[in-house]
Chains A and B, each alone.
Chain A
Amino acid sequence: MKRLLGLIGFYLLVAVIILYAVFPFYYAIVTSLKAGSELFSVNYFPMTWNWGNYVSVFREQPFAYNLLNSVLVSFSVVALSLFFGVTAAFALGRVQFRGRGFLLLTVLGVSMFPQVAVLSGMFELIRGFGLYNNLLGLVISYMIFTLPFTVWVLTTFMRDLPKELEEAAIMDGAGPWEIIFKVFLPLMWPALVTTGLLAFIAAWNEFLFALTFTLTNDQRTVPVAIALISGASQYELPWGNIMAASVIVTLPVLVLVLIFQRRIVSGLTAGAVKG
């Protein structure tokens, strides 16, 4: 009897956890399917299936551009940080040299930088390069938070690869370049997928730089676009549109995360990096 009660209590706790985690997003979907004045009555289940908000979010602002911007920025950030991350991780993970520990600590230190702490300097830099209100400016500035953890996680992974592989490659006369790209890279797919995904999510969700370094609506990324959706007045926010836009940006990330959940969990804990 006591056992049964314990079991019921446990599954009750499980149900509460699931409900707590899932409900807000579920409610966003329910809201996004409402039209007009239906918004102002609270419903726990979708009453009508109204896709109007999904259409109007694209019609009333350049949301397609915003999505495209987010995709371009995120993919470029992933590609760049993986490339620089892999080459640096080879040096930091496989070669002993003086100052290695110091470099690793520096990289770790950079990942702790508050973004605001570099905001004015970064603004000057981006304007100096003529990249204000330009996606390339965002890509470059995002390196400050994706590069450190990419380097950090890939270094820990690279360090654990078997030495024999490298020895055999050196015997065959392979240089460092071949060792990285022909010997190690094929083995590193799990780590690359994990760090790539984390970098993608970080870039996809970034807000402060995107808000500060873009000016016009068609250069904005999705998070800024959503934050700035406004109605006729402060009290008339078009909640239906906001929720539809929110669902649209969240779904791709959510699908990726659920597909690769094992990878992500191991990546998060391996580097203890921020998501």
Chain B
Amino acid sequence: MATAEAEIADDRLAGVAGNLTKAQQSQLTRSRVRAAWLFLAPMLILLALVAGWPLFRTIWFSFTDANLSDLGSAKFIGFENYLTRIDGEWYGVLADAEWWNAVWNTMKFSIISVSIETALGLIVALVLNATFKGRSLVRAAVLIPWAIPTIVSAKMWGWMMHDQFGILNHMLLGLGLISAPLAWTASPDLAMVAVIMVDVWKTTPFMALLILAALQMLPTDCYEAARVDGIHPVKVFFKVTLPLIKPALMVAVIFRLLDALRIFDLIYVLTSNSRDTMSMSVYARQQLVDFQAVGYGSAASTLLFLTVALCTVLYITFGRVRFEGR
């Protein structure tokens, strides 16, 4: 639909004065297309330089024994960084228990934090969608966590969760919920909980704003009908609102999920290279920079890229299905 309309518009543009000959019209269209490519070229070249080329090189490095101190002397070694068998033992990223630990951490983190963010985001969005005094104040307040740099959030919460002087332990002790101070970021059981808590605080606003946009586009008539029929608001929410915003909700969830899969800064700053919270990104960077193993680290990066690429393809397909369905 939209394309056809635009084409008509383009034809109209080409034959603007109405008294141009066919040849002149097509020449105008052609010069427009040529201009378009000319305008696109700088952006495409820049994108190829900063995205395409580095990605290509990273994938190439993953098949070499490259070392950070001397990238030039990298030799092709095939799949050895991924998986290889030497003297009856398996080596490579895919045989590394630490890698699978990072994969498991990333999955756990992504699924739990995005689920909580979706639930809380829905609540905040529903509140913001109601008309009440002080609504703009709430919206401003909700934007604050989103605006705060991730590093700052990690440090702020790191201080609040400090095992000896942290306000979180102080509060929980005061309320009698815990009997002794907890080492939030250091203990193996709680470190992931801590990371999820901070991420939920930081990204729920984003989720809420996306859901709010979907809520504000809903038609009002079915709500009026529901009110006239005296249906309980909770039932209206589950029977009307939720099904109507489901497509937008799914897109938001997948968007957040893709973002969560590549988490780096929060974990790196809050719990540093701790094994209990290490994500795929943290693992890859540790190999690349700390251990200088560019080949091996690139193999891990490539695996992460493939994971995210797979999800992106699913997302784009899903997005298109939704688009055509309308």
Interface presence of A92 (CB below 8 A): yes
Per-residue B-contact encoding for A188-220, CB less than 8 Å = 1, 0 else: 000000000000010011011000100000000
Q: What are the residues of chain B within 8 A of A123 when measuring CB–CB?
A: 68, 71, 288
Interface presence of A182 (CB below 8 A): no
Most buried by B among A18, A95, A226: A95
Q: CB distance A250 to B148 under 8 Å?
A: yes
Interface presence of B111 (CB below 8 A): no
Interface presence of B150 (CB below 8 A): yes
Interface presence of B188 (CB below 8 A): no
Interface presence of A36 (CB below 8 A): no
Given contacts A21-B145, A24-B160, contact A92 B40 (CB under 8 A): yes
Question: Which of A49-57, A59-67, A104-112 binds B?
Answer: A104-112
Closest to A70 in B: B149
Given contacts A105-B316, A171-B17, A207-B151, contact A87 B43 (CB under 8 A): yes
Q: What are the residues of chain A within 8 A of B13 when measuring CB–CB?
A: 163, 166-167, 170
Q: What are the residues of chain A within 8 A of B201 when measuring CB–CB?
A: 20, 24
Closest to A122 in B: B54
Q: CB distance B170 to A42 under 8 Å?
A: yes
Interface presence of A22 (CB below 8 A): yes
Q: What are the residues of chain A within 8 A of B150 when measuring CB–CB?
A: 205, 207, 223
Interface presence of A186 (CB below 8 A): no
Question: Which of B87-95, B134-142, B220-228, B237-245 binds A?
Answer: B134-142
How far is it, in angstroms, between the C-alpha of A153 and the C-alpha of B159 when the chains are bound?
Answer: 37
Among B38-74, those with CB < 8 Å from A are 39-40, 42-44, 46-47, 49-51, 53-58, 60-61, 66, 68, 71
Q: What are the residues of chain B within 8 A of A264 when measuring CB–CB?
A: 143
Among B119-165, those with CB < 8 Å from A are 123-124, 127, 130, 132, 134, 137-157, 159-160, 162, 164-165
Q: What are the residues of chain B within 8 A of A95 when measuring CB–CB?
A: 10, 32-33, 35-36
Q: CB distance B151 to A227 under 8 Å?
A: yes
Among B291-326, those with CB < 8 Å from A are 294, 297-298, 301-302, 304-305, 308-309, 312, 315-316
Given contacts A88-B39, A116-B304, A117-B55, contact A208 B265 (CB under 8 A): yes
Q: CB distance B35 to A254 under 8 Å?
A: no
Chain B nearest CB: distance from A129 CB in Å?
Answer: 10
Which of B40, B71, B206 meets A268, CB within 8 Å? Answer: B206
Which of B130, B146, B308 meets A114, CB within 8 Å? Answer: B308
Q: What are the residues of chain B within 8 A of A243 when measuring CB–CB?
A: 155-156, 159
Q: What are the residues of chain A within 8 A of B54 when measuring CB–CB?
A: 118-122, 124-125, 144
Per-residue B-contact encoding for A18-33, CB less than 8 Å = 1, 0 else: 1011101101100100
Interface presence of A130 (CB below 8 A): no
Q: CB distance A31 to B159 under 8 Å?
A: yes
Q: CB distance B39 to A272 under 8 Å?
A: no
Q: What are the residues of chain B within 8 A of A97 when measuring CB–CB?
A: 33, 36-37
Among A71-127, those with CB < 8 Å from B are 84-85, 87-88, 90-92, 94-97, 103, 105, 107-110, 112-125, 127
How far is it, in angstroms, between the C-alpha of A243 and the C-alpha of B151 when the chains are bound?
Answer: 11
Q: What are the residues of chain B within 8 A of A113 when measuring CB–CB?
A: 51, 55, 305, 308
Q: What are the residues of chain A within 8 A of B147 when measuring CB–CB?
A: 201, 250, 253-254, 256-257
Q: CB distance B156 to A25 under 8 Å?
A: yes
How far is it, in angstroms, between the C-alpha of A115 and the C-alpha of B284 when the chains are bound?
Answer: 11
Q: What are the residues of chain A within 8 A of B138 when measuring CB–CB?
A: 14, 17-18
Most buried by B among A122, A166, A175: A122
Interface presence of B269 (CB below 8 A): yes
Given contacts A40-B165, A96-B6, A105-B316, contact A207 B264 (CB under 8 A): yes
Chain B nearest CB: distance from A264 CB in Å?
Answer: 7
Interface presence of A136 (CB below 8 A): no
Q: List the 10 shortest-distance A-B pairs measured between CB atoms, nearest first.
A: A121-B54, A121-B57, A114-B262, A117-B305, A269-B213, A88-B43, A91-B36, A118-B54, A95-B36, A205-B149
A-B contact list, 15 entries, CB within 8 Å: A21-B205, A22-B144, A24-B156, A112-B258, A117-B58, A120-B294, A124-B71, A148-B47, A176-B32, A207-B265, A212-B289, A226-B155, A227-B151, A254-B144, A274-B206
Given contacts A17-B142, A91-B39, A95-B10, 13 further A-B contacts (CB under 8 A): A14-B127, A14-B132, A18-B138, A24-B160, A88-B40, A91-B37, A92-B40, A112-B312, A119-B301, A120-B61, A120-B294, A223-B151, A253-B147
